[in-house]
Structure 1
C-alpha cells in the first residue's frame, strides 16, 4: 500500500504547536529499548540525592522548590493554565513526551525539557519527569534529549491542591474521577498517545479519549447498564469516537502472553453479552512490536500470528449471535500497516482499516479488511450524529483532549452544581459567575467560565432572603 508523508495530509490542527510532523516518531525513532524507561526522577528523589547525583540527573537546581511553597504557588493564577493542562494530560494518557504535551495543550513552551511553569507541580510531587534512554536519544545532549511526563509519587498532594480548584477545573484534570498513578509502561503509553494524537489530527472522528475516560463501567452506565463485578477494572488503553457515537476501544500490545490472551477473551465475552445497541463498542488491537521486529518478516509474522490466534480463540469461545457476531467487533492492525516509515501514513490509516475474522461472511477462516470509520463496512444502526456530538461535547471539558478538539460549546458544569444543591429556583443563580483562570486554544471561558464577580452563597439565610 502506498504511503504519504504526514505533512502532505490535511491537518485539523494546521497552525498548532508540534503537529505530528514536528514531533519525534516514537516508533521508528527507536526511543525505547524496552517497555519501561529507567530515566524517571521525582522531586522527592532529587531532594534525597547527593550533590553529584543531582548534577547527573540534569534537573536544574532552581526547578525543585519546597513542596509547601510549590502548592502555595499552584493555588495562585500564575502558570495555572499550563499546570492544569499538564496534570490533565498525564492523568488521562499516563505517560507523554514533552512534544506530545505541547501538542495536547497547544503551547510550544511545553516542549521545553524543564518549562518554568511545571516547576511547582513537579516540586509538589504531582508530576514526575523522565528521559528516554534508548537509541540515539541516549547520546544527545541533556537539553536535547527527549523527555517525558507522568503522574508523580505524591498522590495525596492532589487532594490538597483540589481545594483550590473550581469544579470545572477539577473535571478538566480528572474527568471527575480520582487521582492515581499508573504510568510504568512508558513505550506502550507513549505509542498509544501518539496514535490518538494522529487520529485526532488527520482522521474524521468526533474525539479521542484517554485510558482514564474509557472504564467499562462508565461506558455501560451511559447505556443504563450496571457493570458486573468482574468488569469493574476493565478499561482499554484509549478510545476513538466515531461521528455516530460508535467507540473504538484501542488495545496496544507489543507481545502476546497468557495475560494478553485472557484480556482478548474477556473482551469477546463482554461483546457477546452486550450487542452494539447496548454497548456501542468495537475493540481494535494495535500490534506495536518493536521496529526491529517489524523489519524482520519472521518476527513480524510471529507477533501478528499470535495476536490473530488470540482473537481466533476468543471468537471461538464467545462467537455471539448471527446479529451480533463477535468476529465483527474485534480486529487488529500492525503499526507499520498504518505507519510504514517515520512520519508517513497509508490510506488505510485515514479510514482506520483493520483486519477482522471473515467468519460468518462466506468463509469460516481467513481475514478481511474493514474500514472502521465507514458506517457501511462497520455498521452501527443505532448511531446518530447527536450521539457522537454529545461525547465530543463532554470531552471538550477535559484538559487531556487535544486542544483543536476542545473548541465549541461545552456542558454547564456550574449549572450541575446548582442543581445538586437544589438551588435552581434562585433567580440570581441563573447565570452564575465562576473564576476564569485558563488561557490557550479552546481552553478559556468554554471550560472555566467567566471572570470573578461577587461570590454566591448557598447557605440557608441567603436562600430564604432570595425567596
Structure 2
C-alpha cells in the first residue's frame, strides 16, 4: 500500500492553558478549569451519555419506579411561570441560544458561553423548568471517575425532541428575543452524537478564548446554504441540508469551517467530495470559505492501526482531490485541510503552537504521496482579500446579536443592527404636541432627566447584553 499521509507530528511540549491569557473573564470557567472532553476519557470508545428526559421522569414517578428529583418534577404551570418571568431572563435566553446552536453541551460549556455559573447546577430554576416542559434533556458522562470542584460538572444538556419551543416558548418572546435565541431559523430539536457535539463546542470555545478571531458559529449556523447559498445572496443549484460542525470566522471575515471525525467511515469520502464541489463553485474572494477536517479519535485507540483514522483520512482526501486538479488559491486542494486534535491539544489542558495558528495540511505541493502535503496556518499564513461586493465582516456584527455567541464577544448595545420597533414600522416615534404651546415650559417628551439619559426602548426590546 502506498503511503499518502505525511508523518504525524508528535507534539512533545504544549502550553498549559493556565499560562495563556483567556478572553473568558471568569477564570473558573476557562479551559484549564473545565473538564477536558478529549483527554479526560469521559467516554469509552463507542459509548454514549446517560440521558434522562422529562417524559421518562414523569413515567417513572407515576409508576412508582423512581420518585425522582422534586426540583425537576415541576408542574407545567409552575415551569412556565419560571420561564416567562423577568428574573434571570438574560441568562435563560443565553442558555436556550447555546443549546439551539450547538445541540449538546456540558454544564461547564454552557456556563462559559453565557457567563452564568448557575448552569453548573441542573437544579437551577431555568434548567429545571426547561426539563419539566420537555425543552431540554439532562444527562451525565458515562465515565464520572475524575472529581471536579463545583456544583455538578458531570452534567450535560441537549435539546429535547419535542415541539415545546414552537408551541409554548416562542409565543412568550419578543421579536429581538426570538432573534437572539434562534437567529431567525427554526428551533433545533433533538441532540445527537454526544461526544462529537461536545468536542465541537469545546473547540469553538477554545478558539474564542485564545485566538484573535471575530466570531464562532455553531452547527445550526454552519449550513451549506448560509455558507455558500442564501448567506451570500446566492441560490444553490439544488437543496442541500448539510451542516458543518461549526465555523470559526477570522477578523477579516474568512470562514474556517470545521468538521470533526472519529473515523474515516464509508461516507467520509462522499462528504469530502461534496465540500470540494461546493468550494470549486465558490471562489475564496466572494465566499471566504475554507474547510478543515479534524481527526478526533478516542485517545485510547491504537495509533498507526486501522483504528486510527488519520491515514485513511489523507488517503480518501487524495482520492477526491485527483478529480479537482490544480493547486491555486481557489482550488479545493488549497482550501480543504486536515488536522489532528492531538496535534492541536497534545494533552490535558494543553495548547500547541499548531492550534494557535490553526495549522492544517493541504495538498498543494508539486509532488505525490506524503510529500504532496504542506502545513499552513489558517490564521496567519492564509491570505484572504474579499471581492469589493462581498461584505465579509458583516457576519461579525450580526453575531453579536446571538445568544449563542460567547458572552464576552457580544458586549455592548447592538440595537443599531435591527433598529427599534418604530424604525421597522417605517414611521417616526410620536411626540404629542402640547395643548397650549405658548404656556408650555420644561423638557421635550423623552428628554434626559439628570444622569438618566434620553428615554430608550424597554429593556426587553433591546439586545444590549
TM interval, shorter chain, is 0.7 to 0.9
TM-score of the aligned structures, taking structure 2 as reference length: 0.85
Gapped runs of 5+ residues in structure 1? 439-443, 448-467
Match of 1:167 in 2: 175
CA-atom RMSD in angstroms:
2.8
Match of 1:229 in 2: 238
Note if contact 1:126-1:158 (Cα within 8 Å) is conserved in structure 2. no
Report the CA distance between 1:143 and its aligned residue: 6.7
Distance in 1 separating the partners of 2:150 and 2:142 = 11
Note if contact 1:17-1:102 (Cα within 8 Å) is conserved in structure 2. no
Which of these residues, 335, 349, 356, is aligned with residue 329 of structure 1?
335
Note if contact 1:42-1:153 (Cα within 8 Å) is conserved in structure 2. no
For 1:45-124, list aligned pairs within 5 A. 45-50=56-61, 53-54=65-66, 60-124=69-133
Higher helix share: 1
1:319 and 2:325 correspond: yes
Match of 1:350 in 2: 356
CA deviations over 1:83-118 (Å, ceiling 9, x no partner): 211111110011000000110010112112422332
Which of these residues, 279, 284, 289, is aligned with residue 281 of structure 1?
289
Report the CA distance between 1:67 and its aligned residue: 2.0
Note if contact 1:16-1:103 (Cα within 8 Å) is conserved in structure 2. no
- Change beyond 3 A, Cα 1:53–1:104: farther
Match of 1:308 in 2: 314
Report the CA distance between 1:446 and its aligned residue: 1.2
Which of these residues, 400, 403, 407, is aligned with residue 407 of structure 2?
403
Report the CA distance between 1:410 and its aligned residue: 2.3
1:12 and 2:18 correspond: no
Distance in 2 separating the partners of 1:202 and 1:428 = 47
Match of 2:464 in 1: 446
Larger radius of gyration: 2
Which of these residues, 200, 213, 235, is aligned with residue 208 of structure 2?
200
Report the CA distance between 1:14 and its aligned residue: 4.0
Gapped runs of 5+ residues in structure 2? 1-10, 432-445, 447-453
Match of 2:265 in 1: 257
Match of 1:209 in 2: 217
Distance in 2 separating the partners of 1:141 and 1:17 = 10
- Change beyond 3 A, Cα 1:38–1:206: closer
Match of 1:130 in 2: 139
Q: Which region of structure 1 is more displaced relative to structure 2, 179-188 or 45-54?
A: 45-54
Note if contact 1:33-1:135 (Cα within 8 Å) is conserved in structure 2. no
Secondary structure (helix, strand or coil) at the match of 1:397 reads coil
Distance in 2 separating the partners of 1:251 and 1:330 = 11
